[in-house]
Amino acid sequence: MASLFVIQGRDQGSRFHLEDAVHTIGRTHTHSIRLHDTEVSRNHAELVRRGDTYTVRDLGSSNGTFVNGKPVTEYELSSGDQVQVGRSLLLYTGFVDDRVEDLAGKVDIVPLAGGAEDDGSRIVASMGQQTGGSEWLMPDAKGSSNPWLAKARSNLQIMYRTALAVSHTMDIDQLLARIMDLIFDWVEADRGCIMLKDLETGKLTPKVRRHRRGVRSDEKMSISKTILDYVVDQNEGVLTSNARDDSRWDPAQSIVSLGVREAICVPMQGRYEVVGVIYIDTAVTPQKALAAKGANQFTEEHLRLMIAIAHQAALAVEDTSYYKALVQAERLAAVGQTIASLSHHIKNILQGVRGGSYLIELGLGDHDEATKGEDRDEGAAQKAVDTIRKGWGIVERNQERISALVLDMLTFSKEREPEPQPSNLNELASEVVDLMTSRAEEQSVELLWRPAQNMPTLMFDPEALHRAILNVVTNAIDACDEKEDARVIVTSQYDDVAKVARVVVEDNGAGIAPDDVEAIFSVFVSRKGGRGTGLGLPVTRKILEEHGGQVRVDSTVGRGSRFTLELPATPTPPEGEAPARMTQAFLAGDMPSSAPAS
Amino acid sequence: MSPAARVLIVDRSRESRDVLGSLLARRGAEVLEARGAERGAQIAADQYPDLIVVDAEASAAEGDGDAAARLAAAAARNACPIVVLGTFRRSATPFGTEQFVAKPYHYGALIRRIEELLGGRP
C-alpha cells in the first residue's frame, strides 16, 4: 500500500496510508492527513490518485508545498520523494508492495511429504553457504586436463570469495584488507594498494597497502598520478605494460620516470559513482622477462576480473557509507530537535526571569526615590516594595520552572532504577496538593484532595512518584486556565482485591482531542505553548512504568480530562525484617559471621 | 507616553501579561489583556486600542490562524500598530508588516519601542 511517513515535524513517526481517490493534507481534523504543524494551512494540499500513482497538488497554502526541496503546485510522486508542508517532512512510498503480494499468490508452498499435492521431490544433496560453495569451486583433485575450464573455475572462485568478503562485514577497512588479500592469493603482484575517494575533497586516500613476500615493504610506494587520473576520469580500468610503447601515455609524464613495467589499475565503480581505485603492479626484471618469453605478467583477463572485483567492493563501500550517513543524519535530526525544543523552553523561562528582575530593578529605583531626602513618602515606598515583591515572585516561579525542567530532563535521560522504600501514597499526594495550592489559587482553580481511607504503606520510590504526581497536577491546573468554576480533584484509591493503588487527577478544563491523546506522551510535544516543557507526561509515564504501573487518560474536549496513575501494590516487608537492599549490603560485608549491631 | 494611550496585550502567559501590564500602567497607559487571539480580536474591535502587543505563541497556539487574522484585520481598521513578540520569520505569523521583537528581549528596549510607536500616533 502507498503511504506518507512523517520523518520530521511534530507528527514525526506517524504513517498515513494512502488508498482513496483523494487524500487531503491540512491542520484540521477533517483531513485524512492531519498535521499538527502551525505552519501547515488549514487546507494545505491534496493527493489525487491516478491508477497506481499519487499526484500532490497545493491548495493555495500560505507556505507552499515542496517536493524534494523544490516548490510545486502539482507533482506526480514516485517512491522516495520527500514532500514538505510547513515544517513537516513526509516520505512518500508508492504501491510497490502490492505487486510483490500478487506474485506471492502465484507461488504455492505445498507440504513435501504425504500431502495430496506431493510431487515426489526428495532432497538429493544439500550444501550450506559457509562450507559448500568454495570447495565446490576448487580445482578437481583428479586434475582436469582442460586448462580453459581450470582457469574459468579459478576465476569463478575468486568472484565467489569476493562476494563472500563483501557480504560478511560492515567495516570498510576490514573489507578492503580482505579484498587485497584475495587479489594477492590469485595474481602474482609485487605491490598493491586500494585508495578511496574522499567524499568531500574528491582526493584519493590510500586505505590498504600490500607487498608480496620478499619485496621490501618499508620502501615508499609511488603510484603514477597519470594512471590514477586516467582511471578515475575515464572510469576505465587499465593494464599498462612497458609504458614507453603505449600511445596513451606521454613519455614526459610520471609513468616513465617511475619505471613501472606492468600495472593494473581499476576504478571502483559503484552504483552511483567511482568510490576509489584498486592498483597492483609488478616490476619486471630482465630475467623475468626472459623466463616469460616476452609474455606479459598481467593479462586482459586479469584486468577483466579486477574490474569485477572492484565493482563488488565499491558496492559494499557505497552501502556501508550510505548506511552510516543515514544513521548519522537521523541522529543529528534527533539532537537538533532536542536542542531546538530545550532552547525554546529555556528562552521562555529566561524571558520570565528578565520580566521579574526588571520589575525588581524598577521597584528598587522607586524605593530609593521615595525614601530619599527629608520627606519620606510612605505610600510610594510601600508601592515600590509591592513592585519588588511582585518581581521577586516571578523570578522565584521561573527558578522553580528551570529546576523542574532539569529534574525532568534527568529523570528522562537516566536509566534510573527506582529505589523503593516503605511510603504512603496519601502522604505523598497530599504533599503535592499542598505544594500546588497557591498556584491553583493564583489561577483561580479550586484544588480538592480526597484521600482513600484504606491506603496501606507500600513499597515505591517516593521521590519519583512525587515528580510523577506533580507533573499531572500541574497539567490539570494549567488545563483549567481562564475557565469559569475551574476545579481539579485529586483522589487516591486502593483496590485490595486487584492489589492496585491509584492516584486520579481530574480537571474540568479544556480536554484533549482523541487524536492528541497518544501525542501528549511524546517527548517535547507540549500543548501548553510556552509554559510546557514537553517532558512532564513522558516523565510521569516513565516513572510509573519503572514501577510496573501505567498511566491512563480519559478526556473529552471541552469537559475535561482524567489521568489515572496506577501502581501495583507491593507490600512492605514484614516488621523486623530488614529491607532487601540492606540485607544485601550486610551479606557483602567483610565479617559475615558477626551479628548485626542492632 | 500620553496618558490616554490604550494598549492591548495578547499573551497566553499570565505572568508575561502581568509584567508588561504593570510596566505600561506605570507609564500611565490603560492596559487591556487577552489570553488568546480570539478574545484579542474582540477587544481590538470593541475598544480601539492604540497599540497591540501580541505574543507569537498566542496566535499560533490556538491552532486557528483565523483568529490571528481577525486580530490583524481589526488592528488594520483602526490603523493600530502591532508589536509581535518572539519570532524571526514574518512568514510564521499572519501579521504582515508589523514590528517584530525576538525573544528573549529586554523590557527596557521593548518599552522604548512601544513608546516610539505611540509617540507617532495622531
CA dihedral over A473, A478, A480, A482, signed as positive or negative: positive
Question: How many C-beta neighbours within 10 Å does residue A307 have?
Answer: 17
Asked whether A265 and A228 are in contact (CB, 8 A), the reply is yes
Q: What is the DSSP string of B2-36?
A: -TT-EEEEE-S-HHHHHHHHHHHHHTT-EEEEESS
Nearest chain B CA: its distance from A89 CA (Å): 17
Contacts of A569 (CB under 8 A, 6+ apart): A456, A458, A494, A499, A500, A501
Q: What is the pTM of this model?
A: 0.54
CA dihedral over A159, A161, A166, A171, signed as positive or negative: negative
Cα angle A46-A51-A53, degrees, rounded to a multiple of 5: 50
| Tens-place pLDDT, residues A440-492 | 887 888 999 999 998 999 999 998 899 899 999 988 988 887 678 889 999 99
Taking CA–CA distances from A396, the nearest residue in chain B reads: B15
* Confidence label for A587 from pLDDT (cuts 50, 70 and 90): very low
Q: What is the DSSP string of A522-542?
A: STT--SSGGG--S-HHHHHHH
Asked whether B32 and B8 are in contact (CB, 8 A), the reply is yes
Mutation site, A39, A40, A358, A366, interface B, largest B CB count within 10 A: A358
Contacts of A199 (CB under 8 A, 6+ apart): A321
C-alpha cell at A460: 515505591
Q: Does B14 touch chain A (CB under 8 A)?
A: yes
Q: Does A348 touch chain B (CB under 8 A)?
A: yes
Sheet hosting strand B51-55, strand order edge to edge? B30-34, B6-10, B51-55, B82-85, B99-101
Question: In this predicted structure, what is the pLDDT of residue A583?
Answer: 38
Asked whether A42 and A90 are in contact (CB, 8 A), the reply is no
Q: Does A85 touch chain B (CB under 8 A)?
A: no
Is residue B96's pLDDT more than 70? no
The fraction of chain A above a pLDDT of 70, given in percent, is 78
Cross-chain Cβ contact A362/B106 below 8 Å: no
Task: Supply the DSSP symbol for A466.
Answer: H
Taking chain A, what is the end-to-end CA distance rounded to the nearest angstrom?
Answer: 70
Q: Does A135 touch chain B (CB under 8 A)?
A: no
Asked whether A169 and A312 are in contact (CB, 8 A), the reply is no
| Tens-place pLDDT, residues A381-402 | 898 999 999 899 899 988 988 8
Q: What is the CA A323 to chain-centroid distance, rounded?
A: 12
Contacts of B33 (CB under 8 A, 6+ apart): B8, B9, B10, B11, B17, B21
Cα angle A438-A439-A444, degrees, rounded to a multiple of 5: 95
Nearest to B103 among A27, A347, A531 (CB): A347
C-alpha cell at A481: 486556565
| Tens-place pLDDT, residues A123-160 | 666 655 555 445 555 555 455 567 777 778 878 888 88
Quote the ipTM score.
Answer: 0.82
Question: In this predicted structure, what is the pLDDT of residue A17?
Answer: 86
